[in-house]
């Protein structure tokens, strides 16, 4: 059994959460997995037993086959897995994908902002995205309302490539108003999640999703956001992972400018001409992600 299929079978087991999955995955040093190797792992007895149970679980094997017919499964050890994401704290062990996975190897920037964003964010994104698309940068987002939707739509309208990182399984549409947009992204870009395909959206999953948005990117841009918001969480995660952070300044009378203005106050680079300075990329691969 190959390593990715085994990790997926492990993920399907009750009682094997992220920490245990990471503990097991860190000891798998061959591409093919067998019971002899699993018995020899330097793990507590219960974890070794969980590994053997997963390996022999015929029902889980059928589920793995069904999932692989629905989407592409990418593990931490696969070539398709984005290198920048490998470097973060608690990288996802498995990603589920629909669309063009080669986009994960392209240039990436993350742009985050409020779900209840105003026309100001929309205008900034509409003027910012064309030059990014022209440079071959992939525009990605969290597929939420507001900034996320503005970003995806602007990219598609400019014939660019876009990635959506979602906080639910790929078999769900969330929010439902983005049903058509999600299908367009699958067709012309990439949809990814760390959650099993049937996992429904829940509020606590979106902050977890934000670490992927920060991790995939070389830089994070914040448009409109309140001082306490998911966007600022993403920006802070980006700083922790040594990414550049940019912010769009706004009027001090606006609650939605509190976040980006605060970031600028503490050292983020202000966006003043609808462009991210080219030299900041150092000719490395980057992507653009948008999320709340």
Examine the pLDDT at 148 and tell me if it is beyond 90: yes
Identify the band that residue 288 occupies on the pLDDT scale cut at 50, 70 and 90: low
Mean pLDDT of 70-76: 97
Q: What is the tens place of the pLDDT at every residue in 181-223?
A: 999 999 999 999 999 999 999 999 999 999 999 999 988 999 9
Q: What is the tens place of the pLDDT at every residue in 74-118?
A: 999 999 999 999 999 999 999 999 999 999 999 998 888 999 999
CB 178 within 8 A of CB 146: no
Examine the pLDDT at 263 and tell me if it is beyond 70: yes
Spell out the CATH class of 102-291. Answer: alpha beta
At a CB cut-off of 8 Å and minimum separation 6, what does 219 contact? 109, 110, 238, 243, 244, 245, 246, 276, 280, 281, 286
pLDDT of residue 287: 54
Mean pLDDT of 264-287: 70
Residue ranges matching CATH 3.40.50.450 in the chain: 102-291
- Return the CA Rg of the chain: 20
Q: Whole-angstrom Cα distance, residue 194 to residue 209?
A: 8
């Amino acid at each position: 059994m190959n390593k990715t299929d085994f990790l997926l079978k492990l993920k399907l087991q009750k009682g094997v959460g992220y920490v245990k999955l990471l503990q097991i995955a860190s000891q798998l040093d061959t591409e093919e997995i067998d019971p002899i190797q699993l018995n020899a792992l330097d793990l507590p007895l219960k974890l070794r037993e969980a590994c053997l149970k997963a390996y022999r679980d015929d029902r889980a094997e059928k589920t793995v086959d069904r999932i692989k017919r629905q989407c592409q499964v990418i593990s931490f050890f696969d070539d398709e897995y984005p290198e920048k994401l490998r470097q973060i704290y608690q990288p996802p062990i498995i990603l589920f994908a629909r669309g063009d996975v080669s986009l994960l190897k392209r240039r990436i920037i993350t742009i985050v902002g409020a779900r209840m964003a105003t026309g100001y964010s929309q205008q900034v994104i509409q003027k910012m995205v064309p030059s990014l698309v022209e440079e071959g940068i992939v525009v990605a987002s969290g597929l939420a309302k507001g900034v996320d939707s503005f970003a995806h739509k602007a990219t598609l309208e400019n014939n660019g490539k876009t990635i959506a990182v979602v906080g639910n399984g790929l078999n769900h549409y969330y929010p439902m108003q983005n049903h058509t947009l999600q299908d367009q992204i699958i067709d012309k870009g990439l949809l990814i999640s760390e959650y099993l395909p049937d996992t429904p959206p829940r509020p606590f999953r979106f902050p977890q999703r934000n670490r992927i948005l920060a991790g995939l990117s070389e830089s994070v841009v914040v448009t409109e956001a309140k001082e306490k918001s998911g966007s600022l969480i993403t920006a802070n995660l980006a700083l922790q992972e040594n990414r550049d952070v940019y912010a769009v300044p706004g009027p001090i009378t606006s609650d939605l400018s509190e976040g980006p203005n605060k970031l600028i106050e503490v050292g983020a680079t202000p966006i003043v001409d609808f462009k991210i300075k080219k030299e900041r990329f150092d000719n490395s691969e980057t992507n653009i992600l948008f999320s709340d």
